[in-house]
Amino acid sequence: MSRLYQSGKERSIEFDLVGMPNPVSTRAYLDKLAHLKFESILKYVALPALSIERQPLAKSANSHMSQHNEQTLSRAGCSDLVAVFDWLWRNGVREIIKVMVVDNQNHPHADAAIVEALYGFNVEVCDWKRVDLCSDVIFDASPVVREVSMYCSGSNAVLMGWASAEGLGNRRKFPQLKKVKIYMMDGLEDEAVRNRNTERCKAGIERQSKMKHNGEGLMVEDPNPNAEGIRVEIVPDKAHKGILSEINDSPGSSNVQPVKIAIIDDGIDPTADGLEGKIAGGAMFCPNPKYLELVQSYFLYIARLEEVPVSTGSGRNVTARSAAKAVNWAINSGVDIISMSWTIRTTAPETTDMKSLHDAIKSAESADIIMFCSASDQGGHTPEKCYPGEWDDCLRIGAATFDGDKLIWVGDKVDFCFPGRDVPFQSNDGHTVTTESGSSVATAAASGLAAVLIYADRLVDGKSRRLQSRHAMKTALEKMSTGSDKRFPRAAEILGTQFKNEWWAAKGTERGSRGLNIENLTWDRSSQKALEELLKRSILGY
């Protein structure tokens, strides 16, 4: 941002409170953020499940909903975040492209409060994580919405409401709506009924979005087969467990040295499920610090990088200077793995900052730190080369489908492919699921698998360093991979099915893997033997 503004006159294009250490705040806290200056149009606003302590609020003619502020909110539902959006309005914000809110599932916001919060901001992408939200709330809050995420408890009544003639497919209410994501909880019905209900909802919204007036006051389906409608995506709520639950419960795990992973990127959400007590250290290598966004035995070391706008188009580019400092910091922290889910696109790798980054990367390689970096998601269509992947010291990771097919926009210069299309992540509320895509997601998955393998090896042999080098890890991942190019590790098959087969073999039986639930196993000599044989046969290749 330093290229856009004079020093001291910077303006923010986003407002992100995700990662706040205290989920309870006051209106006075917002006033303490008066040093923040905003553009009139924000790229996004991201808010956690935040509670605002009630305090007397002075009347303000500058409020975007001033007529409502004069009323006492007697509704039973929550209204806390109204104060946050009203504060943004009073600070000059007039449009918000994307809103992401994690609502409190035990005390969610009332319909009227959501409308009051968003009204007037012309939100284009709305992701307010409140279960069973009425579609009219979105219409009343921002009828110009282009994309909306809805969260369903499993109630068919809610699904039918969204699919009705007055629901999300209504073109009079939502003339610009292009995409609807529906995140499904399991609810009370079995899977077959749930799937039938969601497909009916999907078909209903898509059909309604192609209806038009026939000139006689009636709504009929557009006969044009190419008529643009709304695309509906159903995202099921699924959680998968496997060998990790068995490894984590092993009695010897408390004596095994934890795997240390450095995440060098734009930060993580420290409030995310599963990260409590796992963040061992953090450092920022950017001039304007903000809140950090953020197998049982691991510790994370988080480094946040400096970002600058790219010279053409939109997007971000991290600075080589901050990346070099972050890599050196990770080396000094004694990490085992460095995950770098970013690329630096440049035609001038000989600059001082780029040379400093290359030197840091080579130092990490010499220290046997395994580095994963993202492949370019621009294919081979740009004149710039992408670093650090252009150097051979890192394992380059590209995004693929869950079946192992590399995504079309990923370049050919990759060492391995990992799932990177619509990868599900459970939200902090424990009930909803969001999805992410790209090689950056795949890089995180690769780093996680490497940590599992290193930890499993240490569990078998506490002094082992058999996987603690780039060459050794690359060989192991190739051993786990399928296809002619050996690029897609079969993690689920090897850590699931093959582990079960090894466990039955250790028990001296050939019962097979289908009837064995790893989650129900207790760690014993058979488990230890099975893991040891799995490492030898399928991973280490002995």
SS (H, E, C) 475-534: HHHHHHEECCCCCEECHHHHHHHHHHHHHHHHHCCCCCCCCCCHHHCCCCHHHHHHHHHH
> Would the pLDDT of 414 be above 60?
yes
- Distance separating alpha carbons of residues 279 and 272, to the nearest angstrom: 11
Mean pLDDT of 436-454: 88
- Distance separating alpha carbons of residues 327 and 391, to the nearest angstrom: 15
Mean pLDDT of 278-285: 42
Q: What is the pLDDT of residue 256?
A: 67
Please state whether the predicted TM-score (pTM) of the whole model is above 0.75: no
Residue 120's φ and ψ, nearest 5 degrees, are 95, -10
> Would the pLDDT of 5 be above 70?
no
- Distance separating alpha carbons of residues 130 and 119, to the nearest angstrom: 17
Least confident of 184-193, 203-212, 330-339, 364-373: 184-193
Contact, 114 vs 65, CB < 8 A?
A: no
Tell me, rounded to whole angstroms, the distance of Cα 52 from its chain centroid.
26
> Would the pLDDT of 59 be above 60?
no
86 Cβ contact list (under 8 Å, min separation 6): 60, 63, 64, 65, 69, 117
> Would the pLDDT of 307 be above 70?
no
Highest mean pLDDT among 58-67, 96-105, 287-296, 305-314: 96-105
Q: What is the pLDDT of residue 495?
A: 83
Percent of the chain clearing pLDDT 70 (strictly above): 68
Q: What is the pLDDT of residue 294?
A: 29
Mean pLDDT of 199-205: 94
> Would the pLDDT of 66 be above 80?
no
Q: What is the pLDDT of residue 170?
A: 93
> Would the pLDDT of 65 be above 60?
no
Task: Encode pLDDT of 459-478 as tens digits.
Answer: 888 777 899 999 999 999 99
Percent of the chain clearing pLDDT 90 (strictly above): 32
Question: 219: which 2 tokens?
Answer: 């709504």
Mean pLDDT of 101-113: 87
> Would the pLDDT of 293 be above 60?
no
> Would the pLDDT of 345 be above 70?
yes
Q: What is the pLDDT of residue 113?
A: 94
pLDDT bin (cut points 50, 70, 90) of residue 111 is: very high
- The H-assigned helical ranges of 142-271 are 156-163, 191-208, 243-248
- Distance separating alpha carbons of residues 376 and 396, to the nearest angstrom: 9
Contact, 506 vs 530, CB < 8 A?
A: yes
Q: What is the mean pLDDT of the chain?
A: 77
- More confident site: 82 or 17: 82
Task: Encode pLDDT of 141-177 as tens digits.
Answer: 999 999 999 999 889 999 999 999 999 999 999 999 9
Residue 153's φ and ψ, nearest 5 degrees, are -75, -10
Mean pLDDT of 16-21: 59
Q: What are all long-range contacts of 330-334, with beta carbons under 8 Å and residues at least 24 apart?
A: 330/262, 330/264, 330/301, 330/303, 330/364, 330/369, 331/360, 331/363, 331/364, 331/367, 331/369, 333/260, 333/262, 333/280, 333/281, 333/301, 334/260
- Distance separating alpha carbons of residues 397 and 318, to the nearest angstrom: 18
Q: How many CA atoms does the CB half-sphere of 208 hold within 13 Å?
A: 24
Q: Which amino acid is at 64?
A: H
470-480 vs 439-460: helix crossing angle, rounded to 10: 100
Task: Encode pLDDT of 123-149 as tens digits.
Answer: 999 999 999 999 999 999 999 999 999
Q: Could you count the other beta carbons within 10 Å of the beta carbon of residue 360?
A: 23
pLDDT bin (cut points 50, 70, 90) of residue 85 is: very high
367 Cβ contact list (under 8 Å, min separation 6): 331
